[in-house]
Every structure is written in structure tokens, then in C-alpha cells.
């Protein structure tokens, strides 16, 4: 059991990790070793206090160097669910499960809203994790919506199982090819289900499949953490980073605007300090 | 009339200034060109996201370079009062007055509490500004409490006016000398007033004078900004940096723990964005 599981490797997660490391807490940090796609794509950041007119790539390099210098590990994983187990949290990543007394959610924000109808079929036709649910579609037809090139290896994995994969690629320079892969360069509008078949609607057409995978950089919080209070698509927190669930804290873009690196690191720092207070309270309660 | 007056040159004020500059707002930034005494004295900062194990001096150098590179000006001033004028704020610095549609308070926190009795004599025996009130004590006896060496030039100014200056020096390496200067190395406990004379009590003694100057790095918020809501000595804000006074925002240590640079820059960024929203609302209202 870890003291804390931090979910997300953007600036908010990094800031929380640095402070928890500094305070000698036993934490697990889940996300991508590439940190954040958004940062990497940023052209020039001028208002981040302490980094003078940096490109996203330069910021990323500094962050990676700092992680290395502090001896912090990132465990690469796609978190698919965070469950309140009473006195601790279970964090599901495909078929791996981790446990923490507390969790810090720094899961970012999806700039596109869920498709119309999407939330109605979560777990019954719509999946967010190729590794977890791919095997369900062996020999079947699927649609995969992907927002970033980084998901191509997951799509290739799905194509090794499914009979046909229609890829709705919402990014540039698609590098996929294969006999059973079809690329669709069009924006989907909605999803629906009819006679056990999933359907995805576009302006001028509709496609049909046995299942749909949504591979995005952020999962809608209410899907990821059952029971979490959400306000206009953002996780609701107080000034200490507390959510409505005891022991569950949040920081960064997922808690609302401004979507700024500086705001994110500030909230990550606050959440880490709140976790430390929470851990001390729990220890006292259990002793 | 400025769009915004930022008060304080610590990390919160800097972060707000960078964002307001980036967003082309017309702002005035009041404080010290040396930024923050606290930073300068910090030995090693390991958990500031983006600066890898820096000393306070190194952090300060980066901050100064960034201010210069962004073309931001600091106006050196000791703010003595912030007054709500209905649709704007008046910011008093000795005999200078500035005006802003909004204000951002990043005034830090005093780690020592006001002395017992201190708040009862503000403006009637106790002053916080040598430049503003020094002339009132020409030929008279005064007590000066100072928390930092940086106030020595103000004390010398006071000594050029007063007949006798008793300096309660709460810092090391006192560099003051003069026929009418007496150094007291003792912690004061309380202040009182009797027969128009101010008195300061110590464990074993009491000193008397015509007036007392308190030269500290931060002024108690309720003294600085009449009407501001304070909670346990900190300015009460919501998640957007709003105080109880419309158009008055706050960020950094003055809003509460954790007293961390990362938290401070995050709040400065949020306050700056909230000000921008507020300015747009005011413009709409007045058009």
C-alpha cells in the first residue's frame, strides 16, 4: 500500500511528486514517461515564473532533468478506474491494480466534450483502454477514435485482434497501415446503439461496429472515478485541493480554468501538502 | 488610472505581473526591486517545478532576468493603505497615491503576530511608514522595531529627525550607529499608551517614547486594507483569488498555508486571470 498514488504526469502531477519526494512520502506516480503531450506541443511559454521564454520542448527537458535529479520514478500506465475502498483507494490500470491511502488526480482536461450519447454506453460498447478490453473484440469489428499519434501502438494492438478497425484519427501525420485498418479523417458527432451494434455518426455518414474505443489524453473524471463530484466538466475541489471524496485530491487542468502551467503546479503543491495532513490524521485515527 | 495595481514583489506578485504583461494589461507593480527578502535568504529550494535545486539567490537572479526580459517595471514603494473608492481602488504610498480599477494583494505574511495592543494604536502612536510619518516626530523620541537590515536607511532617516531613536533590532548584524541611536536586542511583548506617551514592554523592562514605528516586511492585511475579510490572520479568498471586496484579489503567502513558492505563483496566475475577467465585466457594465 502506497501513501499516495499520483495519477497524471503533467505539471500538476510533477509538482505534487516533487513535494511528496521532498517530504519523504511513499508514493506511486502513474502516467507517461513523456510527461504531457500538451507541453511538448507548446510553441512558446512566456509567463511561467522561473523559466524565461521557453518552448514546450525546453520545458519538458527541464522537467525530465528535475525528475531524474530528484530520483523520482514514473510508472507507465493508463489508469482506467479509481475506486474508493473505504479507508484507501484502488487504482486500476488494465489488469494491474495499485493501492494508496490517498490519491491525487492530475488527469488533465479534454478540450473536446464527450460525443453525444457517449456516456450512455460506457462499459457496454464503449471502452477507454485498448489493453484492458481489446481481447473482447477478437475477430470483431471496431471503431477507434484517437486524439494523438501516441495511441498508434495501441491501435496496432487492437488491429492484431479485431477483424476490422476503422480509425477516426483526430491528429495529423497518421502513420498506421494494415489490411484491416481504415483511416477516417472526419469529425464524429454522436454515438448510438441499435440491435447490439454500436454506431458512430458523422455529418454525412454513419459507421457501424461491434465496439468503440475512445483513446484520448484525458478521460472524463466521472467515468474514471465513480462518485466524484464534477462541475461543468471539471472536478470540484476546495482551496486545499480536496474533492468530495475523503482522501481524494485533485490539481491542474482537471479542476478548471485557467488552463495554465503555473496554476497547475501551484495546485499540485497544495494537494501534496493536503495529502500529508490527511495521512497524519489517518495515522492518528488508526493508532 | 491603471487597470490593475499589484502590491508586492514576491513570487505571487511576479507571477501575476508576467501574466498581465503577457495579456497586455496596463498595470502598476509596487514593491522592492530586490523582490523578496525571504527568497534571498533561502538556502536551497528543491521542489519548485522547473528550477532544479536552486539557492534563493539563484532563484532571485532568474526572476530578475525574467522581469527584465519581459520589459516589466517595478515601482519601488512601501504601500501604507489600500482604499476602496467604489468603482476603483486608491493605493497610498506615503504622500503618493495611485489608482487602479482592480488590485492584487501579494503582501506576504508576517511570521510574527502583531504585538499585544499594537492594533489599538494604529495611526495614534504607531506607524508603519518612516517616509510618511517621520516628520511628525521632529525633535521627539521614538522607538523603531525593525525585522530586517534593509530598513536601516529608513531608521537613519528617522534618526535625522527625532531627538532619540531606540531601535528594537530583530535581525543580525546591526549596522547602525549615531549619537541619538540606541540598539535594543530584546523581544518586545506588548505596547500600550499612557498620558500621550507610547510604551513598549519587554520581559524585564519598559521603554517610553512619543511614537513607535513598526518596520516589517509585511503589514497585517486588516491594517493595510480597511474592510478586507481576514481568517486566522490570512486574507480570505475563493478559488479564483477573489476577496470579499469586489475588484480586490489576493495571492501568495498572505492567503494562507502552505507557504510555498509554487503555491504562490499558482495563485498569482489565477488572480491575474480573474482580474482580466473582472476588467471585461466592468468595461461591459460601463459601456
pLDDT band at B39 (very low <50, low <70, confident <90, very high): confident
Report the DSSP beta bridge partners of residue B192. B199
Query: Are A212 and A142 contacting, i.e. CB atoms less than 8 angstroms apart?
Result: yes
**pTM for the model:** 0.82
The SS3 call for residue A184 is strand
Indicate the average pLDDT of chain B.
93
Which helix (H) or strand (E) segment holds residue A67: the answer is helix A56-69
Nearest CA in chain A to B251: A266
Report the DSSP beta bridge partners of residue B2. B100
Between 3.50.50.60, 3.40.190.290, 3.30.56.10, 1.10.10.10, what CATH number should domain B118-215 receive? 3.50.50.60
Q: Which of B8, B266, B270, B273 to mutate to test the interface with A (most CBs of A within 10 A)?
A: B266
Least confident of A8-12, A33-37, A175-179: A33-37
Residues 6+ apart with CB under 8 A from B192: B117, B198, B199, B201
Tell which residue, A58, A53, A163, has the closest CA to residue B18: A53
Instruction: Return the CA Rg of chain B.
Output: 20
The ipTM (two decimal places) reads: 0.79
Average pLDDT over residues A37-42: 80
- Contact residues on chain B for A240, CB-CB shorter than 8 A: none
With a cut of 90, say whether residue B150 has pLDDT above it: no
Q: Which of A8, A16, A262 to mutate to test the interface with B (most CBs of B within 10 A)?
A: A262
All cell numbers assigned to B91: 493605493
In chain A, CATH 3.50.50.60 sits at: 2-110+218-286, 118-215
All cell numbers assigned to B175: 549596522
- Contact residues on chain B for A257, CB-CB shorter than 8 A: 273
Placement of cell 506578485 in the chain: B13
Most confident of A78-82, B120-124, B134-138, B251-255: B251-255
What percentage of chain B carries pLDDT values higher than 70? 99
Among A46, A256, A266, the residue with its CB nearest the CB of B263 is A266
Q: Which of B49, B51, B275 to mutate to test the interface with A (most CBs of A within 10 A)?
A: B49
- Contact residues on chain B for A273, CB-CB shorter than 8 A: 257-258, 260, 263
Query: Are B103 and B7 contacting, i.e. CB atoms less than 8 angstroms apart?
Result: yes
Among B59, B69, B262, the residue with its CB nearest the CB of A53 is B69
**Superfamily (CATH) of domain B2-110+218-286:** FAD/NAD(P)-binding domain (3.50.50.60)
In angstroms, the CA A243 to CA A85 distance is 16
Calculate the CA A53 to chain-centre distance.
28
Cβ-based neighbour number of residue A287 at 10 Å: 5
Most confident of A24-33, A119-128, A214-223: A24-33
Cβ-based neighbour number of residue B73 at 10 Å: 12
Closest-CA distance, B49 to chain A, in angstroms, reads: 6
- Tell me what pLDDT residue A112 has: 66
- Tell me what pLDDT residue B111 has: 64
All cell numbers assigned to A128: 477507454
Tell which residue, A37, A26, A75, has the closest CA to residue A59: A37
With a cut of 90, say whether residue B139 has pLDDT above it: yes
Strands (E), chain B: 2-7, 27-31, 75-76, 81-84, 89-93, 96-105, 126-127, 141-146, 164-169, 181-184, 190-194, 197-201, 206-209, 211-215, 230-231, 234-235, 248-250
pLDDT band at A65 (very low <50, low <70, confident <90, very high): very high
CB environment A223-254: b (16+ within 10 A), e (fewer): bbbeebeeeeeebbbeebbbbebebbbbbbbb
- The A-side interface with B (CB below 8 A) comprises 11, 14-15, 18-19, 21-22, 46-53, 59, 62-63, 65-66, 69-70, 237-239, 256-258, 260, 262-270, 273
Model confidence over A74-123: pLDDT tens digits?
Answer: 999 889 899 999 999 999 987 789 999 999 999 998 766 789 999 889 88
Amino acid at each position: 500500500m502506497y501513501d499516495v498514488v499520483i495519477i497524471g504526469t503533467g505539471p500538476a502531477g510533477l509538482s505534487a511528486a516533487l513535494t511528496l519526494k521532498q517530504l519523504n512520502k511513499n508514493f506511486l506516480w502513474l502516467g507517461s514517461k513523456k510527461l504531457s503531450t500538451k507541453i511538448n506541443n507548446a510553441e512558446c511559454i512566456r509567463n511561467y515564473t522561473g523559466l524565461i521564454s521557453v518552448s514546450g520542448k525546453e520545458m519538458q527537458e527541464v522537467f525530465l532533468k528535475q525528475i531524474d535529479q530528484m530520483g523520482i520514478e514514473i510508472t507507465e500506465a493508463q489508469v482506467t478506474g479509481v475506486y474508493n475502498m473505504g479507508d484507501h483507494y484502488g487504482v486500476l490500470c488494465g489488469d494491474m491494480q495499485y493501492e494508496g491511502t490517498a490519491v491525487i488526480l492530475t488527469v488533465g482536461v479534454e478540450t473536446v466534450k464527450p460525443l453525444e450519447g457517449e456516456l450512455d454506453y460506457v462499459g457496454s460498447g464503449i471502452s477507454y483502454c485498448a489493453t484492458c478490453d481489446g481481447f473482447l473484440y477478437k475477430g470483431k469489428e471496431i471503431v477507434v477514435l484517437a486524439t494523438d499519434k501516441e495511441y498508434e501502438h495501441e491501435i496496432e494492438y487492437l488491429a492484431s485482434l479485431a477483424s476490422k478497425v476503422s480509425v477516426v484519427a483526430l491528429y495529423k501525420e497518421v502513420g498506421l497501415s494494415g489490411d484491416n485498418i481504415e483511416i477516417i479523417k472526419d469529425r464524429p458527432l454522436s454515438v448510438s446503439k441499435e440491435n447490439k451494434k454500436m454506431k458512430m455518426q458523422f455529418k454525412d455518414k454513419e459507421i457501424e461496429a461491434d465496439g468503440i474505443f475512445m483513446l484520448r489524453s484525458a478521460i472524463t473524471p466521472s467515468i474514471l472515478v465513480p462518485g466524484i463530484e464534477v462541475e461543468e466538466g471539471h472536478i470540484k475541489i476546495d482551496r486545499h485541493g480536496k474533492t468530495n471524496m475523503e482522501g481524494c485530491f485533485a490539481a491542474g487542468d482537471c479542476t478548471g480554468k485557467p488552463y495554465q502551467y503555473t496554476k497547475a503546479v501551484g495546485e499540485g503543491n497544495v494537494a501534496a501538502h493536503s495529502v500529508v495532513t490527511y495521512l497524519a490524521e489517518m495515522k492518528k485515527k488508526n493508532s
